[in-house]
Structure 1
């Protein structure tokens, strides 16, 4: 039996067994019997990060969503997606602080890879984690909380410590957001005012194809009751009508724009849960640089536009606050993410990644773990030795290791 491919149909899994347990006890039994196994989430990684001899999906487990009003947290099983969790929270009057551009992804997979949304005051999605239950190779469940000295190492884990069977996230009272899209921003105004633009709303995204004097589009997501969006944004003006992040794509898949207020879960993502996000048939890569290098890093990538743009659907710039998670792209630094949505042209795109990484090396770039990259500079992760020690303690036989983590981590 073949497991099939990832979401974008770029990577074909080599595993020949896919387990779908329906109870935690079945999950424990499956994991304890497997010599090599890893968890398969919503298949949004673009390489072999989630592959192994055997895979286990938690999608068949009961969601078990439980809101704790006293602690302002929500707990749920490891197979839940953001698009399933968010409506339950909103109906009960609660919210997550931030969401990624698409709600289709599993929470466990997002936090394990350091996935993020945007916003100067918002950290990665992993930063919201307040507790984890991990099924280790013996089938034992290890519960970790912020009181554990290794907690910050167990969150962005790349699936290397065990199978996350339950997650607890911090929540806050629900809020409403409006989206406003601006067009006509010049490169001069972006580079001279990058910090001010990224700070202009609760969540900000800059979309570009890198060529020409016009940057592209800027999406401001503003919380209702806080600072209103401007009439003009450093020369950019509001778009006349809805826009897709990728030029000439239909807008049915995008969340409501035009300044119409709506619940956080219907505005913070770019894409709707009931539609295919982005292009679908694509490749993705992303590099996260310390915010202090943001302007120089963006300018350096723009200088590569003649090489990059012919193979690109769109790039997106997003910001995030520093965290203390050992393998996070934002570890101990406010950060700027430079994302690439590529045409599905692997023969052309993959060689470009080495060039991009060489260009961004002076700016201490860290790749997004779930997206395509050429190599990892381990020196960018000061706590990597501590993570390796944690993995060797929780998984001494290497049950959850694979080629990806052996190459890039161990």
Structure 2
């Protein structure tokens, strides 16, 4: 039985198809009653599963093309592969997630993100999509179209995306400096200053001890904290060979913006993940509530990462309409323990406006109230998929 990367999801699909051409994909979609796209399997929720056919896009043509300040990529392309191609062309993505191992469309469809006060989630770089519709036709949607903002972060509910067109920029250099043993009280008191100190900033905590601060900056930065005296992995005991270049030396964006190197194991491997994105004005209150739960969180936790994401206008983006703080939990692989704790974490965070990450574990089913354009998206889905060809148990739950 096929499983996701973490092993906590066993896919229930009857078959996994691997079409080699877009024409074969169109025929397959038109013939099947239920179809879902399968990405790099890095989702911890059941968002990618389905009761019928799962479609892997890995064997579709892999050509990447550049036109001006945009690049068109096959949907299954891994971000690390795309980054290396763009660097060879003197180009760059404006932002990257912690893992370069994830597929472009999987990240886009779930509003996965990197970090930075001025950086939107990865979906905000999308300029256009091409997707196979429920009838097997091809639909193209571009920025500026009336349906665009509802079609980017779409959870696979509108069709099987074949290509994604992304905005790119000239290549640039980044420095990465890690600070250790940062007192928690200081990190919270200076939270806005810390997050404003670099192009992309992460704060790591276990909710019981001091914090680590990872600053990825365009210029040299010096915070009043203790710099690490060598490479640091945010998880104790993990190999520092897996993390990207630190120490403040400038280098190519693709070797600094992600936390992990493409050729190495990302994170710890045996883990679960949850994430909640809160309005920035709720950040300090949220952190205080979670810190008070530290005795319950820490035993189940590997590490928590705090990041900021800029507001966007995408209907189902957790950053839609507001700048957010992302509170990301990398859990030990303890399904019963994490499942039991999530309702209490959500009881603390949801009243503050938190929205869960679509690709991570969460408990609440009442997500409609969290999104002002929820009804609009439901109508868009009904229009493009009236018979529910692209639905699954995860979507039906909401």
Length-normalised TM-score, structure 2: 0.98
The answer on whether the counterparts of 2:45 and 2:358 sit within 8 Å (CA) in structure 1 is no
In the alignment, which residue of structure 2 is the partner of 1:275?
Answer: 264
Q: 1-side partners of 2:289 and 2:396: how far apart?
A: 31
In the alignment, which residue of structure 2 is the partner of 1:220?
Answer: 215
- 1:334-392 CA distances to partner (integer Å, 9 max, x unpaired)? 00000000000111111111110001022100000000000143211000000000001
In the alignment, which residue of structure 1 is the partner of 2:23?
Answer: 25
Question: How far off its partner does 1:203 sit?
Answer: 0.3
**Which of 204, 214, 218 is residue 201 of structure 2 equivalent to?**
204
Q: 2-side partners of 1:147 and 1:307: how far apart?
A: 46
Question: How far off its partner does 1:98 sit?
Answer: 0.3
In the alignment, which residue of structure 1 is the partner of 2:332?
Answer: 343
Query: Are 1:284 and 2:273 an aligned pair?
Result: yes
In the alignment, which residue of structure 1 is the partner of 2:13?
Answer: 15
**Which of 214, 229, 237 is residue 221 of structure 2 equivalent to?**
229
* Structure 2 unaligned regions, length at least 5: none
Query: Are 1:251 and 2:246 an aligned pair?
Result: no
In the alignment, which residue of structure 2 is the partner of 1:77?
Answer: 74
Q: 2-side partners of 1:63 and 1:304: how far apart?
A: 47
In the alignment, which residue of structure 2 is the partner of 1:153?
Answer: 150
| Secondary structure of 1:288 counterpart | strand
Query: Are 1:396 and 2:393 an aligned pair?
Result: no
Q: 2-side partners of 1:77 and 1:361: how far apart?
A: 36
Length-normalised TM-score, structure 1: 0.95
- 1:20-62 CA distances to partner (integer Å, 9 max, x unpaired)? 0111101111111110010000001112211111100100011
**Which of 37, 40, 60 is residue 39 of structure 1 equivalent to?**
37
| Secondary structure of 1:49 counterpart | coil
Query: Are 1:407 and 2:378 an aligned pair?
Result: no
Q: 2-side partners of 1:102 and 1:147: how far apart?
A: 30
Q: How does 1:256-267 map to 2 (within 5 A)?
A: 256-267=245-256
In the alignment, which residue of structure 2 is the partner of 1:112?
Answer: 109
Runs of 4+, deviation exceeding 4 Å: none
Root-mean-square deviation (Å): 0.9
* Structure 1 unaligned regions, length at least 5: none
Q: How does 1:297-316 map to 2 (within 5 A)?
A: 297-316=286-305
**Which of 377, 383, 388 is residue 387 of structure 1 equivalent to?**
377
The answer on whether the counterparts of 2:306 and 2:326 sit within 8 Å (CA) in structure 1 is yes
Question: How far off its partner does 1:191 sit?
Answer: 1.6
The answer on whether the counterparts of 2:307 and 2:326 sit within 8 Å (CA) in structure 1 is yes
Q: 2-side partners of 1:46 and 1:361: how far apart?
A: 20
